[in-house]
């Protein structure tokens, strides 16, 4: 590792230098590939090449080192709680709402909640009237095979 003026390179400079070296290796590899294409041989990976890859030699990009910074792309979301209900997975989705599974935090009873998106509802002709009609019907119907409106 070379430094100018006796000072160490900053981590950013190290990253830039590693990227330059990787691009140089990639360019060399690309030239080799073109040479093989001109020969026209159907060349597979030789045992030596496989061993060099396993040893980490001749890679297009340098391997990450233990101290390298890697940003976590995916993170597991924790459960959300709202109005005494613990929200779970999405069960379904319609044109103006989605349905999620919830658990009542006090009784631990599983239920479903319909979450209405008012922005979508406004775009649907008679959307508000449809929701009001659905609520009136659900309030009247009392049958074991039909969902029951709780609140």
Please tell me the predicted confidence (pLDDT) of residue 98.
93
Q: Does 113 have pLDDT greater than 60?
A: yes
Average of per-residue pLDDT across 106-128: 88
Asked if residue 77 belongs to a known ligand binding site, the reply is no
Please tell me the predicted confidence (pLDDT) of residue 3.
43
**Helices (H) then strands (E): counts for the chain:** 4, 4
Residues 6+ apart with CB under 8 A from 49: 58
Contact 135, 116 (CB under 8 A): no
Please tell me the predicted confidence (pLDDT) of residue 26.
64
Q: Does 39 have pLDDT greater than 50?
A: no
What residues are paired with 99 via a beta bridge? 92, 114
pTM recorded for the entire structure: 0.46
| φ and ψ at residue 140, rounded to 5 degrees | -85, -35
Per residue in 51-104, pLDDT tens?
Answer: 777 776 666 666 666 666 666 666 667 778 888 899 888 999 988 899 999 999
Per residue in 41-51, pLDDT tens?
Answer: 445 567 777 77
Please tell me the predicted confidence (pLDDT) of residue 40.
46
């Amino acid at each position: 590792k070379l430094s100018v003026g006796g000072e160490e390179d900053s981590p950013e400079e190290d990253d830039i230098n590693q990227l330059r070296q990787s691009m140089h290796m990639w360019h060399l590899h690309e030239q080799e590939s073109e040479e093989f294409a001109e020969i026209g041989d159907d060349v597979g990976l030789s045992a030596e090449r496989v061993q060099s890859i396993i040893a980490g030699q001749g890679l297009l990009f340098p391997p990450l080192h233990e101290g390298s910074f890697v940003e976590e792309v995916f993170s597991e979301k924790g459960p959300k709680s709202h109005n005494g209900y613990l929200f779970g997975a999405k069960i379904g989705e319609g044109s103006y709402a989605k349905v999620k599974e919830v658990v009542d935090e006090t009784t631990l009873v599983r239920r479903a909640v319909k979450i209405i998106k008012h922005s979508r509802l406004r775009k649907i002709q008679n959307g508000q009237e449809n929701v009001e009609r659905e609520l009136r019907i659900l309030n009247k119907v009392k049958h074991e095979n039909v969902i029951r409106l709780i609140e």
